[in-house]
Amino acid sequence: MSFTVCNILGVPINNVNLNEAIGLVLLYLEKNEKKIIFTPNPEFIINAINDREFMEILNKSDLNIADGIGVVIGARMLGYNIRERVPGFDLVQGVFSKIKNTDKTVYFLGASEETITTAKEMMEKKYKGIKIVGTHNGYFKDEEGNIIIEKINELNPDLLLVGLGSPRQEKWIYNNKDKLNVKVMIGVGGSFDVMSGNVKRAPKIFIKLNLEWFYRLITQPTRFKRMLKLPLFIIEVLKYKIKGGKNEGNIKE
Ligand code: UDP
């Protein structure tokens, strides 16, 4: 399968829709290649411009989905015919619905102990037959990482979801990928909070109108400062365009 890669201010974004992304994860779960999936939004891209290590890591993943309408708008401004936003949460839910009642196993790493335990229970209720073989909270010290990796490897999960906040989760996945015995790793941000029911996803109408960011802004006003990176991102895209940056022509994978 080959998908167009859009270069958004140095960050590659794969032009896949939700179903294609789910299909790719299912394909990766059949291989033994340690695939890495990230979910860049405008905040990631602004952070990556100022953090060389993060930028390099985002360039080394196997699949980056456009998790944010800002990324879709930015890509279109740069001349890419990107089709739709692919929220990481929807990708994971889509994969769960396909792997329930199969032999594929999942491990959850991230969020508070209470949240991660509830997230597991809620997902087991929603996707009967899903095999979530273990969880660990995301509030551990760097030196505890190896013990957690050993615990994960003992359970030998196929899919590892990591929600430690960005860029910590992307750096953790990349820096530990060689030690981890898993087939697919996905950085899932705050998805465990939503899976547990602690944080509500926006009503469908907001999602449909691409206003999920606005819903999050009014329901979680503490995110205001982080959200300022959205207009900043659009300004950076405009500056890139004015300087003559252009669509480098649909690079094939
Ligand atoms: N988190 C964690 N360890 C940390 C910091 C954060 O496990 O050291 C978790 C936090 O509990 C939350 C997630 O990481 O579940 C990050 O959420 P954030 O709001 O940054 O992600 P987004 O919603 O932007 O994807």
Task: Name the residue with the closest Cα to ligand 1, atom 16.
Answer: 165
CA distance 251 to 87: 23
Which atom of ligand 1 is nearest the CA belonging to 43? 24
Task: Name the residue with the closest Cα to ligand 1, atom 25.
Answer: 189
Pairing assessment for the beta strands 35-38 and 63-64 based on DSSP bridges: parallel
Give pLDDT < 50 ranges for the chain.
Answer: 249-253
Length of the chain: 253
3-state secondary structure of 14: strand
Tens of pLDDT along 175-188?
999 999 999 999 99
Distance 80 CA to ligand 1 centre (A): 30
Of the CA atoms within 13 Å of residue 195, those in its CB half-sphere come to: 33
Distance 87 CA to ligand 1 centre (A): 16
Distance 251 CA to ligand 1 centre (A): 32
3-state secondary structure of 51: coil
* Segments making up each domain of the chain, as ranges: 13-200+208-244
Tens of pLDDT along 96-136?
999 999 999 999 999 999 999 999 999 999 999 999 999 99
Would you state the pLDDT for residue 96? 98
* Other C-beta atoms lying within 10 Å of the C-beta of residue 87: 23
Would you state the pLDDT for residue 246? 56
pTM, rounded to two decimals: 0.94
Residue of 60, 34, 46 whose CA lies nearest to 170: 60
**What single DSSP character describes residue 177?**
T
Would you state the pLDDT for residue 227? 83
Distance 239 CA to ligand 1 centre (A): 31
Distance 95 CA to ligand 1 centre (A): 21
Would you state the pLDDT for residue 222? 86
Distances (CA, A) of 249 to 7, 14, 40, 49, 78: 9, 13, 21, 21, 11
Ligand 1 pocket, residues with Cβ under 6 angstroms: 110-112, 138-139, 163-165, 189-190, 192-193
Helix (H) or strand (E) segment spanning residue 93 = helix 88-99
